[in-house]
Structure 1
């Protein structure tokens, strides 16, 4: 555990870098909303309207089914980052995933605010924000660890500057990723059983 904490402390600059990249993605995603044409905004408004009516009248899918779908989606994201960190050519892919995650969140919140003003912001606060307060740090920590391991592989195997064994760093990298995966299961549980309740509270304001 001490070595793991030391590794995370050493990766602080990478945390800052991926966090800034993610925030740039959020801003970019929000700007995309303002760039939509009137027809696209109308189609988006119709889709959201139908979604809110469905949630208000029928609720959301069963909890058990939703849990595994949500958990699988988040775990695939973490797993992909872990795999990309193992390869030298995967480094750009990690950066793209972090940026893309920011774009998706920025676009989602931007759409809600654009269509429903402060009611949309309120819905975003109960449906998007809570679980992402844990999910985003999990993804950023995993990404920083993946970037660090990928850079180690570049220095050790490609550039040949060091001959440091990668077994220990790999084990620590994998252990960290597994820990983040366990947190993902907690996030999926919250998103499955708590988030829908809060969404049902706010949805009547949007119908």
Structure 2
């Protein structure tokens, strides 16, 4: 079977899972955006002051050591995939994977929603350079890792009932290899966030540093 045929077969078997996970993520994004309206005035003012100080830090090129930023960014991203990988090793992890997907959507939706609501076009401009670029890749990585984990967990259930224990090792290797590949992609995104995002953010922060006062 050639690669195209394998890919077609894979998508046919897993398309429903991809749709389901995508719906969960989109629901989380919508919920996160709606959550902005539930913030009290004091909470909004505190967040605005925090953002103002952050914008000032970016504008003054005071983000700190690049290596430390790279490690922090990579650790933040890879923990999602690693937790999903661990949860995929057991049947009981299935609902927890979906919860993680929902929470990821909430974080993205809340961040973009708050910036847009409180800072208008300036906030949207900042979101377009600081939030959207990396999440264009991170979100698909989360979706792929979630579907892979769910598929492996379902395979474990079928394997247990059919008592074909010898076949698990090969599936586990492929499952783990997929996760490692996604980890490499996330490392590339972390490099982008460390060395490219600050430059892009600096383009728009001059219009936002007044929030620090």
Normalised TM-score (structure 2): 0.90
Alignment of 1:6-17 (within 5 A): 8-9=10-11, 10-17=13-20
Aligned to 1:39: 42
Matches within 5 A, 1:148-163: 148-157=151-160, 160-161=161-162, 163=164
How far apart in 1 are the matches of 2:18 and 2:131? 22
Q: Any idea what the Cα deviations from partners look like across 1:124-178, whole Å, max 9, x if unmatched?
A: 0000010111111011101000011111112332xx2563622222122111111
Cα distance per residue 1:73-98 (max 9 Å; x no partner): 21121111111100111111110110
1:122 is aligned, of 113, 122, 125, to 125
Asked if the contact 2:33–2:113 (Cα under 8 Å) also holds between the matched residues in 1, the reply is yes
> Relative to structure 1, is the Cα distance of residues 191 and 25 closer, same or farther in structure 2, using a 3 angstrom cutoff?
same
The residue that corresponds to 2:173 in the other structure is 171
List per-residue Cα deviations over 1:49-92 (Å, max 9, x = no partner). Answer: 22212222243122111111111221121111111100111111
5 Å-filtered alignment, 1:83-162, equals 83-157=86-160, 160-161=161-162
Q: CA RMSD in A?
A: 1.8
**Which 10-residue stretch deviates more, 126-135 or 53-62?**
53-62
Residue 30 (structure 2) aligns with: 27
Following TM superposition, the consecutive aligned residue runs of length 4 or more in structure 1 with deviations greater than 4 angstroms are none
Structure 1: runs of 5+ lacking an equivalent: none
Give the secondary structure class of the aligned counterpart of 2:60: helix
Equivalenced residues, count: 205
Q: Tell me the TM-score normalized by structure 1.
A: 0.92
Please list every run of 5 or more consecutive structure 2 residues that lacks an aligned counterpart in the other structure: none
